[in-house]
Amino acid sequence: MQKLVIASRESVLAMWQAQHIQARLQQLYPDMDISILGMTTQGDQILDKTLSKIGGKGLFVKELEQALLEGRAHLAVHSIKDVPMVLPEGFVLAAIGEREDPYDAFVCNQYQSLAELPAGAVVGTSSLRREAQIRAQYPNLEVQPLRGNVQTRLRKLDEGQYDAIILAAAGLKRLGLQERIANLLTPQESLPAAGQGALGIETLAEAKEVQDLLIPLNHAQTAACITAERALARALNGSCQVPLAAFATEEDGILTLHGLVAHPDGSMVLTAQAQAPVAYADALGRAVAKKLAQDGAEDLIAAVLNSESA
């Protein structure tokens, strides 16, 4: 192929990620003409509602998939965290890039940790997963919705609308804003979302030639972790509506996967974990999901979904 077009959202973070992939590809294929097609998605436009209320993750990827379908782009670069657990027919994840820091970051101008915040302090996050875990451990704190891109969220903190906010460490680090991180939340405080910190590259299922070009960008250990995390979320019908976390690590070919499902108000938190060789990543995800289901996760999810539609 002579020419490759990368579809990306236009946020500063998305563009950084697309440029990162562009640079890696240009190094591998110096003679190829590689460009980026920036586009705005519904997820970027609707900023006054929480994601769970406007239909979830798909809103960040649909327009990019449409560009692939219409041949305006050959690959789409996503934060894998924003990619729905089940792709529409005809699309595949062709490569998963090496993971950045997977943890959530505590961002605050006065305090060093959630534990130090005074009672009644306002913590900004629109992630139900973060909200539920904070409420469960710090019932004296107030959690308020916070949307917009990373820069917007930091501005709202600096203007005093919040005492602290929680953001993915990966986004801040990629944007050179790591000095804004007061502390990383431990996985015990806030278990990360499935895929947090990793990039996914999506193509049409039929685009074999493009997929071959992307093989060197796939990071095997990260891909195994992400496969396990996404299998867990998929098995529990992972949507943005229910607080759900899935975090895998790999050591010497063995994956350790932690899963968590919670009630948004923090009144109930279920956790489970298991280990398996990397070759069984998908089965591991389903196994941890099954443990959670046996502990009552499906009832919890049904109760949360019911109360929302009521």
Report whether 302 contacts 296 (CB < 8 A).
no
Closer of 84 and 197 to ligand PBG (Cβ): 197
Question: Whose CA is closest to 105, among 188, 190, 166?
Answer: 166
**97 part of the interface to ligand PBG, by CB under 6 A:** no
CB of 185 vs ligand PBG, minimal distance in Å:
12
d(CA 161, CA 101): 27
Taken in order 302, 194, 51, 154, the sign of the CA dihedral is positive
Smallest gap from residue 194 Cβ to ligand PBG (A): 10
Question: Which of the ranges 21-29, 140-148, 165-173, 272-280 carries the binding residues for ligand PBG, by CB under 6 A?
Answer: 165-173
Measured CA to CA in angstroms, residue 140 lies from 118, 120, 198, 267 at distances of 8, 6, 33, 13
Q: What is the crossing angle of helices 281-294 and 297-309, to 10°?
A: 70
Q: Which helix (H) or strand (E) holds 23?
A: helix 12-28
| Among 79, 190, 203, 241, contact with ligand PBG (rule: CB under 6 A) | 79
C-alpha dihedral, 122 to 258 to 194 to 166, nearest 10° = 20
Cβ distance to ligand PBG smaller for residue 133 or 196: 196
Q: Is 168 in the site for ligand PBG (CB under 6 A)?
A: yes
Per CB under 6 A, 167 contacts ligand PBG: yes
What one-character-per-residue DSSP string does 167-206 give?
A: EEHHHHHHTT-GGG-SEEPPTTTSPPPTTTT-EEEEEETT
18 contributes a contact to ligand PBG by CB under 6 A: no
Compute the least distance from the CB of residue 129 to ligand PBG, in Å: 10
Min CB(174)–ligand PBG separation in Å:
7
Question: Residue 35: how many CB atoms within 10 A of its CB?
Answer: 11
Which of 82, 202, 229, 250 forms a contact with ligand PBG (CB under 6 A)? Answer: 82
Instruction: Please tell me whether residue 197 binds ligand PBG under the rule CB under 6 A.
Output: yes
d(CA 225, CA 275): 11
The interface region with ligand PBG, picked from 32-40, 67-75, 166-174, 298-306 by CB under 6 A, is 166-174
- In the complex, the smallest distance separating the C-beta of residue 167 from ligand PBG, rounded to whole angstroms, is 4
81 binds ligand PBG (CB under 6 A): yes
Q: Is 33 a catalytic residue?
A: no
Q: Between residues 19 and 275, which has the closer beta carbon with respect to ligand PBG?
A: 19
**Complex with ligand PBG: residue 167 or 304, whichever CB lies closer:** 167
* Structure-token pair, residue 272: 């489970």
C-beta closer to ligand PBG: residue 124 or 268: 124
Annotated active-site residue in 44, 48, 82, 282: 82
Residue type, position 286, single letter: R
Residues identified as active-site: 82
Residues forming contacts to ligand PBG in the complex (CB under 6 A) are: 79, 81-82, 167-168, 170-171, 196-197
